[in-house]
Structure 1
Amino acid sequence: MKAFKSISYVWEGRPQQVGDGFVGQSMIPSQRFQDFSPFLMLDHHGPMQVKPSPVPKGVDEHPHRGIETVTVVFEGALQHRDSAGNKGTIFAGDVQWMSAASGLVHEEKHEINFSRKGGTLDFVQLWVNLPRAHKMEAPRYQELTAAQIPVLQINDQTKLRLISGELNGLKGPALTYTPVLLAEVIIEGSSEFELQLPENYNVAIHVAQGEIALNDTQGIKAKRIAKLSQQGEWVSVATQGGMTRLLILGGEPINEPIASYGPFVMNTQAEIMQTLQDYQSGKMGFLEPVEY
């Protein structure tokens, strides 16, 4: 008999604005973030209408240490550059996986041509914690195009894109420091299906668009996240029509102390103080000004 995961709780996103160009909802409750380890944050920005602008809006130069940032674009386009020398542009279906690790500064903006034309922008950004053993490694940057992400056709209406981890014989292309499952499910119309997810992982399902019945729990609407039990392996999903988009998060919990201050996540307060000193002294680098 299949053992189904139970729903621990469903959380509705809280309004969130970052910089001057990203408006949306914060989906992981700050007081319960340990329930989602290794994930620390999930911000869903959009769908929002971007007005044409010759100067791209977004988030200006800022630092990180001790975490990875993962950006999944549903619609629109973003551009990135950082003090480790990485530059990139991601479009609908693409994923950027940046490991800040020992520290860098970066900026995230509307892609220049998209900014000039305007349009709909819809994306998710996650923060993934790093274990103590990897927090001070050199930064790493991965840019995954839609074509690099394997697809599982679950049924005629439903496909799953596997970004990281292993599922149903597929392996996601993203390199991770700890076991992390990240998948996007796109459903067009009415559909019913079951998924086998890892046991003993922290698992959650973010409803990015549409509405689902999850394990017979009706009416989980967009911009809500369902936290599932570690016990059990299976979930059942049903939709009644229209377009539905889900993001499945799973990972092996990092059972270590957390000390955080803004964009820095370490294990002790002493490490946070050292991080602040390193940033203020320029050890994380700088970005050269850009003229548009």
Structure 2
Amino acid sequence: MKQIKYIRRAAPPHMVGDGFKVRTFISSAMWKDMSPFLMLDYIEPTNYLPTDHPRGVDVHPHKGFETVSILWEGALAHEDSSGGKGKLFAGDVQWMTAGAGILHKEFHEEEFSKKGGVLHGAQLWVNLPAKNKSTAPAYQDISSTNIPEIALPDEKGKIRIIAGTMNGVKGPANTFTRINIFDAHVHANADFEFNVTEGDHTTVLVLKGTALVNDDKTVREGDMLIFDNAGESIRVQTNNETHLLLLSGEPINEPVAAYGPFVMNTQQEIIDAIDDFNAGKFGHLN
């Protein structure tokens, strides 16, 4: 059984652009315990009033990693310099490989903006190994209907397998390294286990409710649990309606050099990335 190493609470909420109220859970000081995960911005459930001008984040670059956007409520629209575009609705996931460099923008979807409503989701940054940092940019738009679920015994809830494999059920996301992303929606009085790989970095974010973990630690909404690498299972017993997000992955044991939206291995590569961006090598997007 994986033991809890420590528990982290998020920083106070802040706005990203004018459309995303987020709490950041992963800092650079945690990368040694979190690799390949670089960032987790939790988009708190926030009600937005109707508007004719969609809120969001305008054109910005990314290079050297992947972004994973998970949406639980609301609707988003995105577009990038490679010609990719699409929309996300409740339950959907967008997996963007920035790789060699991309320009990107994301806003509240037009009809959602006009009607208003609650937006609730999360965005992860997932590192790429050095050998894959120059891969061509790409998108995986993953509909909720294509995300398999594991039903818990006695109709106590479900675990959506976004990436990786649990109990023989494989998620739809294609990844460069071994990654698990499990989205668990659990009723009160459930008793179950997450199964992960020995040696992988593993964390569980409590998005709603309270639970007893590994028989001895009560956790609550807003806790992020970072586990030791040893062990292959995590026991969870819920007290009420609970929403958990599990992330686990094979560590990328390489140096990390990061500057804003660029994540490389050396400072010279960061300088080169900035030069490429300024030279227009990431393409164009209005």
Q: Give the equivalent residue in structure 1 for 2:76.
A: 78
The residue that corresponds to 1:11 in the other structure is: 8
Q: CA deviation at 1:142?
A: 0.3
Match of 1:195 in 2: 194
Q: Secondary structure at the match of 1:190?
A: coil
Q: Which residue of 1 aligns with 2:238?
A: 239
Q: 2:153 matched to 1:130?
A: no
Q: Find out whether 1:225 has 2:221 as its counterpart.
A: no
TM-score by length of 2: 0.97
Deviation per CA, 1:136-169: give whole Å up to 9, x if none: 0100100000110011102211211101111100
1:190 to partner: Cα distance = 2.5
CA deviations over 1:78-124 (Å, ceiling 9, x no partner):
11100011101111110000000000010111111111111111000
Distance 1:30 1:14 in 2: 13
Q: For residue 89 of structure 1, what is the aligned residue in structure 2?
A: 87
1:1-292 matches, within 5 Å, as 4-15=1-12, 16-155=14-153, 156-241=155-240, 243-288=241-286
Output one character per residue of 1:63-88: Cα deviation in whole Å (capped at 9) or x when no partner.
Answer: 00001000010111111100011101
| CA deviation after TM superposition for structure 1 residue 17, in Å | 2.1
Matched residue of 1:189: which SS?
Answer: coil
Contact 1:67 1:129 in 2 (8 A): yes
Identity %: 45
Q: Distance in 2 between matches of 1:104 and 1:140?
A: 9
Shift of 1:240: 1.2
Contact 1:50 1:118 in 2 (8 A): yes
Q: What are the superposed Cα offsets for residues 258-280 of structure 1, whole Å, 9 maximum, x if unpaired?
A: 11100100000000000000001
2:52 partner amino acid = P
Shift of 1:217: 3.7
The answer for unaligned runs of 5 or more in structure 1 is none
Q: CA deviation at 1:30?
A: 2.8
Q: TM-score with structure 1 length normalisation?
A: 0.95
- The one-letter code of the counterpart of 2:103 is V
1:218 CA displacement: 3.8
How far the C-alpha of 1:21 sits from its partner, in A, is 1.0
Query: 2:190 & 2:202 partners in 1: Cα distance?
Result: 22
Aligned-pair RMSD on alpha carbons?
1.0
2:212 and 2:45 mapped to 1: Cα distance? Answer: 22
Q: Give, in whole Å, the separation in 1 of the partners of 2:22 and 2:120.
A: 9
**Cα contact 1:27–1:223 (8 A) shared by 2:** no
Moved over 4 A (4+): none
Q: Distance in 2 between matches of 1:120 and 1:184?
A: 19
The question of whether the paired residues in 2 share the 8 Å contact of 1:11 and 1:29 is answered with: no
State the one-letter code of the partner of 2:187. E
